[in-house]
Amino acid sequence: MELKKLCGKPRVIVIGAGISGLSAARRLYSSPAAARDWQITVLEASDRIGGRIFTSQFDTGEQIEIGATWIHGVEGSPIFDIAEKSGALHGDVPFECMDGFPEPPIVKAQGGVTVHSTIAHDVASLYRQLVDDVNDRRGEPPEVTAETLEHGDSGNLGSYLRRGFESFLGKQAATPAGVNAAELLLKQDNPSIASSGWNLRALQEGVFTIQENWERCVTAAESLHDLDLLAFNEYWEFPGEQITIGKGFSSVVQALAKSLPPDTIRFHKKVDKVVWTDVARTSASSGYPVQLHCEDGSTFEADHVIVTVSLGVLKAKALEEQQLFQPRLPDWKLDSIEKLGFGVVDKLFVLVEPPPDGSQHPNLQFIHKSQADADEDEVPRWMRKTHSLYPIHKKSNVLVAWFAGAEAKEMEKLSDEEIARGVQKTLAAFGDKRRVAGLGSQRQHCCNGGDASSNGGTHSGKVHVAHGCWNRNPLFLGSYSYVAVGSNGDDIDHLAAPVPRLSDSGPPLQLLFAGEATHRDQYSTTHGAYFSGQREADRLIQHYKFAS
């Protein structure tokens, strides 16, 4: 057994050196008389800290984020505070979104039809207003939702949004003057629109679908019909500007790790089994109620374990026959693990040749053909829900696209050459003459966990691609959580609740749970993960305060 008992100090083991685990460890160490009160170890399965925070460097030398990207509001955000105090806000190399959000989009339909900015803006504004209406009615269903429920819908975000869009189209049809004006705008940009196969309504539908596909990447849901509507409006972000971090998001977790004593974090310690004490099992002879067995054969004992693994891992390892937890977790917790949603979102970075005229690359948004009309030779299946392709900053030749659900999973399986050719096909299908740099030879694609860069310059005759592999990585099995239809915020609270509960038998607070999926109104965010780690540390601090 590793870690000998020290002078009766409560022994706390944190599983995972992501932001929630590091936040918990730092909170415990910063509590009053910490040196006297705690013996803390963080077990990390990989060779790096950060978890789903993973800053890397592209082949061009530019900094990219394979994982978490944005500080979601700077006013009151602990992530912003850490980045500011550690001097990480401003970078030494060009970094992703260093000049803010992408430029206003150019919206193209497959075949090269350009959607006038006024038409695109009106539909995008409608979509944003519908989402804002949900968020403005916290804990209450929007009025349109009551109507959809009468029609047999299940109270999901997708049905609500579509109902609002259908209402917009109905009002538009009742005002022929408005329709004629929009069609004139369309013909100005596309004189041959009549022979293109596209019309105003189809293009408006396409713009709305762009917004839905973006929302899939924001929420990690396979479909917006998977998102519970009432729970959706519990989520909130901090006010203020949304920014990226100059020295990379990884600098935040590095700052947290530096605040811990040396050797607190043990790398390459993948926990395969957590044996805890319930009514039917007595504590081990050592007196510790929890034993952790690692893949390398090492064993650790603890009074308390803070579990920060992803909801994806809990779904795979807590619900399956070969249990991560022995005895199995209580049914009330397993039920919430099963009902809550957890999806995959990946970012793709690809180098393209610079525009011959020296101009900037546009923020290009895609209106794809319907699935029935889609042609694999034009746009690969895994690209058909890609909503946009834009430069990582205004002067960059590196473009980024976001993928969610099935398309992200399929993209993860492809070689860099296949990905580059898929991007090239897609650009061509939309009348875009830009070329992916270096098409012709193949190198191994990089998944998260290692360095996303490769040797050689940008014109070495190979493609330059980097992307996430969050679904294929067994330490995560996806990206972040959402509240699925059939679940609600109470399930998040159940997921966050300790085992055994104080009212149950057995030593209290053996297993505590942190991570983004355990924060009721800030799930899916780094600040939610950070707060959850502090919450569980505070739970232990309060427990020993009252027990003393």
| pTM confidence score | 0.91
Taking alpha carbons only, the member of 345, 332, 434, 352 closest to residue 398 is: 352
How much is the pLDDT for 287?
A: 80
Summarize the chain as % helix, strand, coil (round to 5).
Answer: 35, 15, 45
How much is the pLDDT for 455?
A: 34
Distance of CA 190 to the CA centre of its chain: 37
Q: Convert 120-187 into a string of H (helix), E (strand) and C (coil).
A: HHHHHHHHHHHHHHHHCCCCCCCHHHHHHHHCCCCCEHHHHHHHHHHHHHHHHHCCHHHHHHHHHHHH
Burial class (CB in 10 A: 0-12, 13-18, 19+), 360: middle
Q: Convert 184-199 into a string of H (helix), E (strand) and C (coil).
A: HHHHHHCCCHHHCCCC
What element of type H or E holds 220?
none
Tokens coding 398 = 């590196």
Using CA of residue 70, residue 76, residue 79, residue 83, what is the dihedral sign? positive
Residues forming beta bridges with residue 291, ordered by sequence position: 275, 301
Alpha carbons 153 and 145: distance in angstroms, whole number: 9
Alpha carbons 319 and 315: distance in angstroms, whole number: 6
Per-position b or e across 185-199, b if 16+ CB within 10 A of its CB:
bbeeebeebeeeebe
How much is the pLDDT for 283?
A: 55
Q: Does the domain at residues 11-49+249-342+482-547 carry the CATH identifier 3.50.50.60?
A: yes
Alpha carbons 39 and 303: distance in angstroms, whole number: 10
Say if residues 145 and 111 touch (Cβ distance below 8 Å): no
Query: End-to-end distance of the chain based on CA atoms, in angstroms?
Result: 28
Q: Convert 307-354 into a string of H (helix), E (strand) and C (coil).
A: ECCCHHHHHHHCCCCCCCEECCCCHHHHHHHHHCEEECEEEEEEEECC
In the three-class reduction of DSSP (H, G, I as helix; E, B as strand; rest coil), residue 518 is classed as: helix
In the three-class reduction of DSSP (H, G, I as helix; E, B as strand; rest coil), residue 79 is classed as: helix
In the three-class reduction of DSSP (H, G, I as helix; E, B as strand; rest coil), residue 106 is classed as: strand
How much is the pLDDT for 20?
A: 99
Residues forming beta bridges with residue 265, ordered by sequence position: 42
> What does DSSP assign to residue 388?
E
How much is the pLDDT for 354?
A: 94
How much is the pLDDT for 286?
A: 63
Task: Count the neighbouring beta carbons within 10 Å of the beta carbon of residue 423.
Answer: 24
Phi (first) and psi of residue 412, to 5 degrees: -60, -25
Q: Where are the domains of the chain?
A: 11-49+249-342+482-547, 55-101+345-467, 116-232
Alpha carbons 40 and 9: distance in angstroms, whole number: 10
Q: CA 195 → CA 69, 113, 191, 384, 416, distances in Å?
A: 42, 11, 9, 23, 36
Alpha carbons 14 and 22: distance in angstroms, whole number: 8
What element of type H or E holds 57?
strand 55-57
Say if residues 416 and 442 touch (Cβ distance below 8 Å): yes
Say if residues 97 and 388 touch (Cβ distance below 8 Å): no
Q: pLDDT tens digits, the chain, 548 residues: what are they?
A: 454 455 578 999 999 999 999 999 999 999 875 655 889 999 999 999 999 999 999 999 999 999 999 999 999 999 999 999 999 999 999 999 999 888 899 999 999 999 999 989 999 999 999 999 988 766 555 555 444 444 445 589 999 999 999 999 999 888 877 777 777 777 777 776 766 778 889 999 999 999 999 999 999 999 999 999 988 989 999 999 999 999 999 999 999 999 999 999 999 999 999 999 985 555 555 689 999 999 999 999 999 999 999 999 999 998 876 689 999 999 999 999 999 999 999 999 999 999 988 899 999 999 998 876 666 678 999 999 999 999 999 999 999 999 999 999 999 999 999 999 999 999 999 999 999 999 864 444 556 655 544 333 344 579 999 999 999 999 999 999 999 999 999 999 999 999 998 666 678 899 999 999 999 999 999 999 999 999 999 999 999 886 55
The single-letter code of the amino acid at 419 is I
The single-letter code of the amino acid at 272 is D
How much is the pLDDT for 278?
A: 80
- Name 421's Cβ contacts closer than 8 Å, sequence gap at least 6: 436, 439
Alpha carbons 284 and 412: distance in angstroms, whole number: 43
The single-letter code of the amino acid at 277 is T
For residue range 467-519, list pLDDT tens digits in order. 999 999 999 999 999 999 999 999 999 999 999 986 666 788 999 999 999 99
